[in-house]
Structure formats: structure tokens, C-alpha cells
């Protein structure tokens, strides 16, 4: 059987392909030369499956899509405090190349607009070593892509010759000591960052590395730590789409970043990296058809972050009573899925209510056979509940054949009995 997903992606491209509105960026002369009809989409799951349709192999310059990744590298190298000290994380609601700084602090508003991205770029490597910095950027972007990338020298030359706006921004930053090197050198090095060549497939893998907590889904290299990936995706969610960020997050609903060469990425934490490419841009500087492709994917695949998750009561699959060897009854709570705060709260509430109503027998069995993950807060809540029930004289047995509950230690030397099946739990009762 062939997977239906590539066919679905082809359908999405057919649905979006007819729209020829917008215009290629021409403020960088080399970008005006590209074939405006190119169109591709790629999806990568966090375990490394890649699905593509259309033109996913041809190369284009990464442009502003480099910003979240270089922000990640700077966070990893300098730490959150040091980076926040230089560049804030507030949406600007302005165009990508606005000459603006935050009132009061004088910091660029966020790392996704050029002013912030230029400062972040200078935070990598040793001060006064633009070549070393460019090498680090190229190596870092390559690690995110999982293959060695290179620089499009023609695009680089073309942009440095016409980067008047970025020179203005860099001079503004230099006048406030937000950067300390020669503004021309800084713009040249930042422009090399923007001129790194990628394919749509590369971008999907780069986005999937963020979605996968900083670990490349194929090479399995930990490119940045998990907290870095979270920080970057948060800023992409609020600032990645410049002056259309609010519309984007309410309609498409996942962290994204676009670039003026026509690329766009989306990162769904724990699920997917998405990339689309089509060179004609809307007035915000984002790919017209790339945005449309993302809208389709979000609607069809239920990718909006704010879509209501499964009702939490679904955490408790079944409640029943089993007879133990001594003839007394034990109440069994069979749980399933992934235990997080809300689902565990529901379990704790049901247990507390049953206890208050005198409906809880002296033996409780928590059956985790169908639970596949338990996050830190759910673990603490479960173990504290076990501790409280035990203190009240209730015997609690945990059925956990796969050891999904790590280190079942309730504190004070108290540990619940852990067994592999409900039958084993019943066999223990009263015995």
C-alpha cells in the first residue's frame, strides 16, 4: 500500500497552484531572477519520515528563515538572560525591516525583525571575528538541516550591494552600542547568513528539529537543548509573521517563519516540521501560495495549537471492581493515553469524591497498562495521591507492566506495590 499522504500534498498544491497573485521580492536584484512559478511542500515527522510534493529539491536562499535558527544558536551559546538583555520577545506589529527599537530599553523588539536578527547574529562566536561567526552560522544551520549547506555567492553579492535599509538599521544599532563592530561588516556577515542555500526539504527537516525538542529527526544530533527549541517556537508563534502575526496565529495556529525568497516554515511541537516554497510574496513579505498551503494543512490536518484537545475525562478508560483473594473488593481505575495535569486532576478528583462518599474500598488499583507517557506534574500528583490514600489506610497497587511511571517513590520511604497485571494485583489483596 502507498501512503495517502503524498497524494494529499499533491492535492493541496493543486488547490493552491492557480493563485498567481503577489510579486517576487526585487529589492534584492538576484531574487527578482527566480522562476516565480516554483511551488513545493514538505512535511517531516519528529521521527524522521519525510513527505514531499512539487518542487522540494531546488535551492533558494534561506533569508529570514535563518533568524529563528540563529536565535537558537545564540540562546544555546549565551543563555536566555544574556540574549534577552540585548533583544526582547515582544511582537512589533511592524514590517520586517522597520527602523525601530523598544521605547525605554532601546532593545530591538524581537529577534525575527531585522534589527533583532542583526544583534542576535553578532552574539555568536568571538566579538570582532565576522569570519568565525559566519562559519559558526553555516555549521549551525547545517546541523539543523542534517547536511552541509553552502552560501549562494551571487545572492550574497547582490544583497550586500543593495542592503541600504539594513545598513541604516546597523548604524542605528551601532549608535546605541547594541552592536560594537563596524556596521558594514556586520551587515555583510548577516547577509551571508541570509544567503545560505536550502531546499524545501531542508527547511522541513530544520523545522522538525525544533518541533522535536532540538534533536534532528534523522541524524539524531541534539543541535540545541529542549528549552531553546521551546523559546524559539514561542517567539515564532508571536513574532514570526511580522505584521500579520496575529492573523496568522488565530487562523493557521502554529509557530511559523517566512522569508523574502518565498520559503515558509511551521513547527508543531512534538509532531511535525512543515515547509512550503513559492516565490511570489504578499504585502507582508510572505509567500502568497506558501501561506495558502499552510492554511490548507492546518485546516485539513487539525494543526491549530488552540484546537480543544480530547476531553480530559477520557484519561479514565474504565472503573470497575475486582474481588481479591481474601474476598474483599478492590476498586480498579484503568487509565489510558498520555497523563498530564488535566487528566490526572480528573483521576485525583474522582478518587477524592469517591473517598468522601465512602465509596472507596480499602484497596485501590491504578491500572497504567494503557498509559504511554506520564509527564512530571502527573507523576508528582499520582504519587502524592498514592501517599495520601496509604496514610488513610488504603492499600494502593499500581499495575505498570512497561514501567511507565518512573521511580514510584512517594517520599518518606513509601512506595506503592507495582505489579504487571490486574489479576496479580487482585491476588495480592488481603493476602
**Interaction of residue 200 with ligand GLU, rule CB under 6 A:** no
In the complex, what is the shortest distance from the CB of residue 297 to ligand GLU, in angstroms, rounded to a whole number?
21
Q: What whole-number distance in Å separates Cα of residue 47 and Cα of residue 259? A: 26
Residue 365 is a catalytic residue? no
Cell 495535569 -> residue: 341
Residue 242 is a catalytic residue? yes
Positive or negative CA dihedral for 103, 108, 110, 112? Answer: positive
**Interaction of residue 279 with ligand GLU, rule CB under 6 A:** no
Judged by beta carbon, residue 67 or residue 201, the one nearer ligand GLU is 67
Instruction: Select the residue interacting with ligand GLU from 76, 110, 142, 166 (CB under 6 A).
Output: 166
Reported as type and span, the H/E element at residue 68 is helix 66-78
Q: Which residue among the candidates 64, 258, 334, 395 is catalytic per the annotation? A: 64
Using CB under 6 A, count the residues that bind ligand GLU.
11
Cell 488513610 -> residue: 392
Nearest to 253 by CA among 201, 301, 311: 301
CA angle 378, 384, 390 (to 5 degrees): 135
The answer to the question of whether 11 is labelled as a binding residue is no
Question: What residues between 76 and 105 interact with ligand GLU by CB under 6 A?
Answer: 96-97
Long-range contact set of residues 209-215: C-beta below 8 Å, sequence gap at least 24: 209/144, 209/146, 209/273, 210/68, 210/72, 210/255, 210/267, 210/273, 211/46, 211/267, 211/268, 211/269, 211/270, 211/271, 211/272, 211/273, 212/46, 212/270, 212/273, 213/269, 213/270, 214/72
In the complex, what is the shortest distance from the CB of residue 159 to ligand GLU, in angstroms, rounded to a whole number?
6
The answer to the question of whether 196 is labelled as a binding residue is no
The answer to the question of whether 288 is labelled as a binding residue is no
Judged by beta carbon, residue 280 or residue 331, the one nearer ligand GLU is 280
Q: Which residue among the candidates 12, 24, 260, 293 is catalytic per the annotation? A: 260
Q: Mask 103-142, x = binds ligand GLU (CB under 6 A)?
A: -----------x----------------------------
Residue 64 is a catalytic residue? yes
Q: What whole-number distance in Å separates Cα of residue 390 and Cα of residue 401? A: 22
The residue length of the chain stands at 431
**Among all residues, whose Cβ is closest to ligand GLU?**
64
In the complex, what is the shortest distance from the CB of residue 237 to ligand GLU, in angstroms, rounded to a whole number?
17
Residue 190 is a catalytic residue? yes
In the complex, what is the shortest distance from the CB of residue 204 to ligand GLU, in angstroms, rounded to a whole number?
18
Give the three-state DSSP class for 265: strand
Q: Which residue among the candidates 242, 334, 364, 365 is catalytic per the annotation? A: 242
Give the three-state DSSP class for 34: coil
In the complex, what is the shortest distance from the CB of residue 291 to ligand GLU, in angstroms, rounded to a whole number?
14
**Interaction of residue 194 with ligand GLU, rule CB under 6 A:** yes
Q: What whole-number distance in Å separates Cα of residue 321 and Cα of residue 111? A: 57
- Yes or no: say if 160 and 208 are a contact pair by the CB < 8 Å rule: no
CA angle 12, 13, 19 (to 5 degrees): 110
Residue 67 is a catalytic residue? yes
The answer to the question of whether 166 is labelled as a binding residue is yes
**Interaction of residue 259 with ligand GLU, rule CB under 6 A:** yes
Q: What whole-number distance in Å separates Cα of residue 116 and Cα of residue 95? A: 13
In the complex, what is the shortest distance from the CB of residue 128 to ligand GLU, in angstroms, rounded to a whole number?
22
Q: What whole-number distance in Å separates Cα of residue 259 and Cα of residue 286? A: 6
Judged by beta carbon, residue 60 or residue 333, the one nearer ligand GLU is 60
Q: Mask 48-67, x = binds ligand GLU (CB under 6 A)?
A: ---------------xx---
The answer to the question of whether 159 is labelled as a binding residue is yes
Tell me which residues are annotated as active site: 64, 67, 190, 242, 260
Annotated binding site for substrate: 64, 114, 159, 166, 190, 242, 260
- Name the residues that contact ligand GLU, by CB under 6 A: 63-64, 96-97, 114, 159, 166, 194, 259-260, 285
Amino acid at each position: 500500500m502507498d501512503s495517502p499522504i503524498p497524494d494529499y500534498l499533491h492535492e493541496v498544491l493543486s488547490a493552491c497552484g492557480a493563485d498567481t497573485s503577489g510579486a517576487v521580492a526585487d529589492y534584492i536584484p538576484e531574487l527578482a531572477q527566480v522562476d516565480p512559478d516554483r511551488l513545493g511542500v514538505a512535511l517531516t515527522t519528529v521521527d524522521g519520515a519525510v513527505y514531499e510534493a512539487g518542487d522540494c529539491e531546488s535551492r533558494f536562499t534561506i533569508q529570514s528563515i535563518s533568524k529563528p535558527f540563529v536565535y537558537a544558536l545564540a540562546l544555546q551559546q549565551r543563555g536566555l538572560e544574556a540574549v534577552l538583555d540585548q533583544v526582547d520577545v515582544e511582537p512589533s506589529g511592524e514590517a520586517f525591516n522597520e527602523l525601530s527599537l523598544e521605547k525605554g530599553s532601546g532593545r530591538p523588539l524581537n529577534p525575527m525583525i531585522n534589527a533583532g536578527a542583526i544583534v542576535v547574529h553578532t552574539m555568536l562566536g568571538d566579538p570582532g571575528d565576522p569570519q568565525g561567526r559566519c562559519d559558526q552560522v553555516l555549521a549551525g544551520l547545517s546541523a539543523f538541516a542534517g547536511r552541509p549547506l553552502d552560501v549562494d555567492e551571487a545572492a550574497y553579492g547582490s544583497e550586500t550591494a543593495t542592503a541600504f535599509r539594513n545598513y541604516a538599521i546597523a548604524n542605528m544599532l551601532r549608535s546605541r552600542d547594541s552592536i560594537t563592530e563596524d556596521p558594514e561588516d556586520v551587515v555583510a556577515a548577516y547577509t551571508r547568513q541570509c544567503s545560505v542555500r536550502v531546499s524545501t526539504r531542508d527547511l522541513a527537516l530544520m523545522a522538525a528539529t525544533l518541533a522535536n525538542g532540538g534533536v534532528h529527526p534523522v541524524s539524531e544530533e541534539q543541535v540545541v537543548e529542549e528549552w531553546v527549541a521551546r523559546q524559539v517556537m514561542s517567539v515564532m508563534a508571536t513574532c514570526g509573521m511580522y505584521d500579520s502575526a496575529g492573523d496568522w496565529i488565530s487562523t493557521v495556529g502554529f509557530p511559523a517563519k517566512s522569508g523574502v525568497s518565498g520559503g515558509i516554515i511551521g513547527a508543531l511541537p512534538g509532531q511535525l516540521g512543515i515547509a512550503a516554497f513559492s516565490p511570489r510574496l504578499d504585502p507582508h513579505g510572505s509567500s502568497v501560495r506558501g501561506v495558502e498551503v499552510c492554511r490548507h494543512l492546518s485546516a485539513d490536518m487539525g494543526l491549530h495549537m488552540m484546537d480543544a484537545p480530547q476531553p480530559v475525562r477520557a484519561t479514565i478508560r474504565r472503573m470497575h471492581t475486582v474481588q481479591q483473594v481474601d474476598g474483599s473488593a478492590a476498586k480498579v481505575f484503568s487509565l489510558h493515553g498520555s497523563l498530564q495535569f488535566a487528566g490526572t486532576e480528573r483521576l485525583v478528583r474522582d478518587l477524592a469524591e469517591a473517598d468522601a462518599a465512602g465509596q472507596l474500598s480499602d484497596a485501590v488499583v491504578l491500572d497504567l497498562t494503557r498509559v504511554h507517557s506520564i509527564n512530571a506534574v502527573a507523576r508528582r500528583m499520582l504519587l502524592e495521591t498514592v501517599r495520601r490514600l496509604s496514610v488513610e489506610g488504603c492499600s494502593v497497587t499500581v499495575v505498570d507492566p512497561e514501567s511507565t511511571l518512573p521511580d514510584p517513590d512517594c517520599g518518606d520511604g513509601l512506595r506503592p506495590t507495582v505489579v504487571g497485571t490486574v489479576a496479580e494485583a487482585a491476588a495480592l489483596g488481603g493476602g
